C-alpha cells in the first residue's frame, strides 16, 4: 500500500514504524495529533511530493519511480542525502558501536571474540566515514557548483576550472558498496559466533544492523539511480549552455 498526502501521519507510522527515522530527517518530530501528511509537511516547510516519494520508496522497495524521482531539484536531493549521512554517523553508528562495546563488559563472552567484533566494527566505521566524507567534500560541492552555473544569466561568470577536474562519471566508477561488511557482520553473529548464554544484546545489535542495511540500500539507490543521472543531465545542459 502506498502512502498518500491525505493519510494521517499517525497512521503512516502505524503502517510502517521504520519510517520514524526517515521522517525525523525532515526535521519532523512526533506529536502528530490527527494531522494529515500534507498538513505536517506544510507546517514544517517540507515539499510534500518529495516527502511522499522518499517514504514510499523506503516503505516499499519495489516502488522506485525513476521518472518522478528525477524531477526533483538536485539540491533537494542532496539535502536529504546529507541529512541521512548525519543520521548514520551521528546516531546509528554510535548506537551500534555502544552496543558492541558493551559486549566487552560481559564476562560470559570470550574477550577474544568481543575484540574481533569491536575491531571489525571499527574498520567498518572508518570505511563508511571515508565513503561519506568523499561524497560530502567532493561530489556534493561539485553538483552545487553545476547548479549555480546553470542558473547564471551571464555565462561569463562560469569558471570552468572549478568543475573541469571532476565529473559524475568518476563518482559512478568509484562509488563502492558500503553494505558488504554489514552483511558479513550479521552472518558472523547469526551463524558463527559460539552461542551466547543470553542473546539479548546480540539481538539489539542485529536489529540495528538490519535497520541500517535497509537504510543504506535505499540511500545507495538514490545516489546511483537518481543523483547520477540528474547530474549527468546537468553536465550536458551546461555544455549546451556554453556553446
Partner 1 sequence: MQRLSILIIEQSFIIREGIKTLLSQMNQPFSMEEVDEFVIDLPKLLRKTKPNLVLINPKYIGTDIVLPRTNNSKIIFAAILQGEIEPNIKSKFECCLQIDADKQTLSKQFEEMIEKGAGKKKIQQNSTLSEREISILKLVALGLTNNDIGEKLYISTHTVMTHRKNITRKLGIKTVSGLTVFAILNNIIKAEEYR
Interface residue with partner 1, options 105, 112, 153, 239 (CB under 8 A)? 112
Stretch that binds Fe ion, among 96-104, 165-173, 184-192, 220-228 (CB under 5 A): 220-228
| C-beta of 53 vs 135, nearer to Fe ion | 135
**Cell numbers of 33, please?**
495529533
Burial of 1 (0-12, 13-18, 19+ CB in 10 A): exposed
Per-residue mark of binding to partner 1, 199-218 (x: CB under 8 A)? --------------------
CB of residue 217 vs partner 1: minimum separation in angstroms?
A: 15
| C-beta of 89 vs 118, nearer to partner 1 | 118
Stretch that binds partner 1, among 11-19, 45-53, 161-169, 176-184 (CB under 8 A): 176-184
Q: Site residues (CB under 8 A) for partner 1? A: 112-113, 116-117, 120, 123, 180-181, 183-185, 187-188, 191-193
Amino acid at each position: 500500500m502506498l502512502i498518500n498526502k491525505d493519510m494521517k501521519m499517525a497512521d503512516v507510522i502505524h503502517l510502517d514504524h521504520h519510517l520514524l527515522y526517515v521522517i525525523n530527517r525532515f526535521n519532523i518530530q512526533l506529536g502528530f495529533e490527527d494531522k494529515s501528511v500534507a498538513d505536517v509537511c506544510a507546517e514544517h516547510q517540507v515539499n510534500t511530493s518529495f516527502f511522499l516519494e522518499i517514504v514510499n520508496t523506503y516503505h516499499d522497495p519495489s516502488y522506485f519511480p525513476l521518472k518522478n524521482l528525477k524531477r526533483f531539484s538536485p539540491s533537494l536531493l542532496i539535502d536529504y542525502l546529507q541529512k541521512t549521512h548525519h543520521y548514520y554517523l551521528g546516531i546509528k553508528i554510535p548506537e551500534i558501536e555502544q552496543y558492541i562495546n558493551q559486549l566487552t563488559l560481559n564476562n560470559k563472552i570470550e574477550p577474544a571474540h568481543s575484540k574481533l567484533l569491536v575491531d571489525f566494527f571499527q574498520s567498518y566505521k572508518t570505511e563508511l566515514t571515508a565513503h561519506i566524507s568523499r561524497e560530502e567534500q567532493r561530489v556534493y560541492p561539485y553538483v552545487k557548483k553545476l547548479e549555480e552555473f546553470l542558473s547564471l544569466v551571464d555565462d561569463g561568470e562560469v569558471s570552468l576550472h572549478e568543475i573541469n577536474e571532476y565529473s559524475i562519471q568518476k563518482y559512478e566508477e568509484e562509488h563502492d558498496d558500503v553494505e558488504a561488511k554489514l552483511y558479513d557482520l550479521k552472518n558472523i553473529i547469526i551463524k558463527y559466533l559460539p552461542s551466547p548464554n543470553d542473546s539479548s544484546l546480540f539481538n539489539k545489535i542485529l536489529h540495528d544492523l538490519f535497520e541500517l542495511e535497509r537504510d543504506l540500500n535505499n540511500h545507495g539507490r538514490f545516489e546511483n539511480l537518481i543523483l547520477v543521472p540528474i547530474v549527468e543531465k546537468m553536465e550536458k545542459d551546461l555544455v549546451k549552455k556554453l556553446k
